[in-house]
Amino acid sequence: MTATLNESVHGGATRQAGGLPRLLPPAPEDLRGHVARYGQTPYRGQTGLLIGDIEASGLTGRGGAAFPVYRKLAIVARARGRKVIVANGAESEPASRKDELLLRVAPHLVLDGLQLTAEAVGATEAHLYLHTAPSPEILRALAERSARSVDMLQVTVTQAPPRFLAGQESALVNHLGGGPALPTFAPPRVTERGLGGAPTLVQNVETLAHIALIARYGPRWFRAAGTSAEPGSMLTTVYQPQGHCQVVETEIGAPLRTLLPSGGETQAWLVGGYHGNWLPLPHATSLTLDNAALRQYGAAVGAGVLVALPSDRCGLTEVARVTGYLAAESAGQCGPCLNGLPRIAAGLAELAGRGHRKQVRADVERWAGLVTGRGACSHPDGTVRFVRSALTVFAPEISLHARGQCSATNRRPFLPLPDGIPTSEDDWT
Amino acid sequence: MMSDTLRVNPINCTGHGVCAELLPELVSLDEWGYPIVDPSPVPAVLDREARRAVAACPTLALRLLKSDQPAAPAARPARRAPAW
């Protein structure tokens, strides 16, 4: 499928309740346009001051983990000496496109957030970590800010290797330190001992953009959208069954059926990307896009990847293909993940074929149980979440395949994967 | 309670299996030879054996953590997206 980013979807949209869209201007904005819209960067003039506003806003991390942002900030703010802040735009989840779009249309919002958060925690060094070479928009934004002396800290831009785990916090710190982008075992967390041993704050670029707005308009404004437990808006990458994808800013807690179609052309929903959950239709149509609602189904919003899988594809084939990718993306550092994921992937490939052996499904379930909770990072757990929910949602398809049949009428791959999956160890650097 | 819990650093662990031999009460091996440790606090009667297993690990992957540290709760159903 071709994924196209349709920017007009935000710009042309009429303002919704809560003043959406908040993050995405109608067209890429230069520094002049940015300042005209939002005003100057509202520095507080003192470390720590902004953290109270962020706590009151209830902002959670938009990179997938939904961790309360102020807590990480408070830990780093308490430390003394050299401190590092990193804006994480690695977006290594292949189906997610929201950080890429945000960095292109609103680079100054992200960079404002980076500077304001750096001030709040007393950071002495700032980085921007990207999954591709920096776009012309980002380079221009950095040059404009430098020329106008907007920034308190100079920003170093680094490109991540094209690996699924390259955006994981400890992998990112390893890569910035000159090593391979491989996760490490916590504790210590990077907030305690990160880049070069310094306390390091890693925040997703969308999280920083929200901070730039909270610093201007306050927590009460921020809470005008979203739910009381999970306030604000979030960027989602939405795949329609016809094959196109759009980045949509939506309120947290919005009904999923307003974002994804559930009619005859759609057979199931995927929420939370390739570490996320398959949800069955029509049962999922009553759900809302927030962790409190999704938790009952073992699901989470993650980084906001939402997929409507078309009815003409084979769900098992799609899941087997993505699981093969996830297995290849294991860092290979932890025995259970290194051994379990390829076996799980092979089991799914067999299920996606015709006339699989009877015990394969039980094997996959057992291996899934064996890898859960036993990795240094959450890759095995996330992969298992994706696989287990697929075994439930696509159970009728498994029965069909056992009898040598398949419901698909269209064999073209649907879920996006990067071209040319890297397999050599050099690809981590 | 001053009891400790066992924790494996899965990156350092290369599956020698010494821990499972010295402490079969709390450590078993999965089908690939990697340890599955009992996540509950080490009972006092096994304290000495647990310390011996930790000391014997050839890659220093096995550790005893104070229980008052926020160790991962046992067997909680996974529900979270990746932490990044």
Same domain, A361 and A258: no
Residue A73: partners with Cβ closer than 8 Å, 6 or more residues away: A51, A54, A117, A120, A121, A201
pLDDT number for residue A422: 54
Which chain A residues are within 8 Å of B84, Cβ to Cβ? Answer: 63-65, 88, 167-169, 172, 202, 204
Contact B79, A298 (CB under 8 A): yes
Same domain, A148 and A29: yes
Same domain, A149 and A121: yes
Same domain, A371 and A392: yes
**Residue A321 in domain:** yes
Same domain, A271 and A403: no
| Residue of B34, B72, B83 with shortest CB distance to A335 | B34
- Please answer yes or no on whether A373 and B72 come within 8 Å at the CB atom: yes
Over the stretch A261-286, which tens digit does the pLDDT of each residue have? Answer: 999 999 999 999 999 999 999 999 99
Cis upstream peptide for A261 (omega within 30°): no
pLDDT number for residue A186: 87
Over the stretch B61-80, which tens digit does the pLDDT of each residue have? Answer: 999 998 664 444 444 444 44
Q: Which residue, A285, A218, A226, is CA-closest to A252?
A: A226
Percent of chain A at pLDDT exceeding 70: 93
Give the end of a domain, one of A310, A336, A367. Answer: A310
CB contact B78 to A (< 8 Å): yes
Contact A289, A301 (CB under 8 A): yes
Same domain, A185 and A57: yes
Long-range contacts from A170-177, C-beta under 8 angstroms, 24+ separation: A170/A377, A171/A331, A171/A377, A172/A86, A172/A88, A172/A90, A172/A129, A172/A202, A172/B84, A173/A86, A173/A200, A173/A202, A175/A129, A175/A429, A176/A86, A176/A127, A176/A129
Predicted TM-score (pTM) of the model is 0.91
CB contact A378 to B (< 8 Å): yes
Place of tokens 């306050």: A218
pLDDT number for residue A187: 87
CB contact A347 to B (< 8 Å): no
CB contact A169 to B (< 8 Å): yes
**Residue A14 in domain:** no
Same domain, A66 and A201: yes
Q: How confident is the model at residue A419 (pLDDT cuts 50, 70, 90)?
A: confident
Helices (DSSP H) in A255-313: which residue ranges? 291-294
Over the stretch A47-69, which tens digit does the pLDDT of each residue have? Answer: 999 999 999 999 999 999 999 99
Buried b (16+ CB within 10 A) or exposed e, B8-35: bbbbbbebbebbbebbeebbeebeeebb
CATH number, domain containing residue A284: 3.10.20.600
Q: How confident is the model at residue A9 (pLDDT cuts 50, 70, 90)?
A: very low
Q: How confident is the model at residue A366 (pLDDT cuts 50, 70, 90)?
A: very high
Indicate if the pLDDT at residue A383 is higher than 60. yes
pLDDT number for residue B82: 33
Name the closest residue on chain B to residue A384, using Cα atoms.
B78
CB contact A252 to B (< 8 Å): no
- Please answer yes or no on whether B81 and A382 come within 8 Å at the CB atom: yes
- Please answer yes or no on whether A64 and B82 come within 8 Å at the CB atom: yes
Q: How confident is the model at residue A173 (pLDDT cuts 50, 70, 90)?
A: very high
Average pLDDT of span A239-258 = 96
Q: Which residue, A75, A59, A77, A67, is CA-closest to A118?
A: A77
Same domain, A306 and A336: no
Average pLDDT of span A331-356 = 96
Distance CA(A70)–CA(A78), nearest Å, equals: 12
**Residue A429 in domain:** no
Q: Which residue, A319, A224, A314, is CA-closest to A274?
A: A319
Give the end of a domain, one of A258, A291, A310. Answer: A310
Per the structure, how many domains does chain A have?
3
Give the end of a domain, one of A291, A310, A329. Answer: A310
Map out the domains of chain B with their CATH numbers. 4-66 (3.30.70.20)
Distance CA(A372)–CA(A340), nearest Å, equals: 10
Same domain, A304 and A319: no
Provide the domain limits for residue A415: 315-422
pLDDT number for residue A77: 98
List the pLDDT tens digit at each of the 84 positions of chain B: 457 999 999 999 999 999 999 999 999 999 999 999 999 999 999 999 999 999 999 999 999 998 664 444 444 444 443 332
Distances (CA, A) of A105 to A230, A232, A233, A283: 25, 20, 17, 36
Distance CA(A234)–CA(A62), nearest Å, equals: 7
CB contact B12 to A (< 8 Å): yes
Same domain, A43 and A181: yes
